[in-house]
Amino acid sequence: SLEEMLYWVKLFSFNKQLDYTIRLVSRSYILNPEKFSFNFIEYAYNTDYKKEFEKYSNLADPYLMLSLSKQESGFNPKAQSPARAKGLMQIIPS
């Protein structure tokens, strides 16, 4: 049920198991798009960086920036790629 899925989403989110959280949120939407709640998305991207992205996101949606950060660095602020991209969003300093 949707209520059970929300329970598991909260549990995974609380334990910082974001991969499981995001998979479950996606599955919840696929199974119940008409009943899907924004609460699911809030838990999927419940990170310490959300407030920072909201603060500095006058031009871009903070959830877009969170999604990009999840994909590029897995929310690791010290991530560095072989191409010298750095940080959450893997930006190249030049």
What pTM does this model have?
A: 0.62
| pLDDT (tens digit per residue) in 43-82 | 777 667 878 888 887 778 887 888 888 888 888 889 999 9
H/E run at residue 27? helix 18-31
pLDDT number for residue 90: 92
- pLDDT, one tens digit per residue, over 9-51 is 788 877 777 777 778 877 878 887 877 777 777 777 766 787 8
- Helix, strand, coil: what percent of the chain each, to 5? 55, 5, 40
User: For the chain, how far is it from start to end, CA to CA, in angstroms?
Assistant: 49
Asked if 36 and 25 count as a contact pair (C-beta separation under 8 A), the reply is no
| pLDDT value, residue 86 | 94
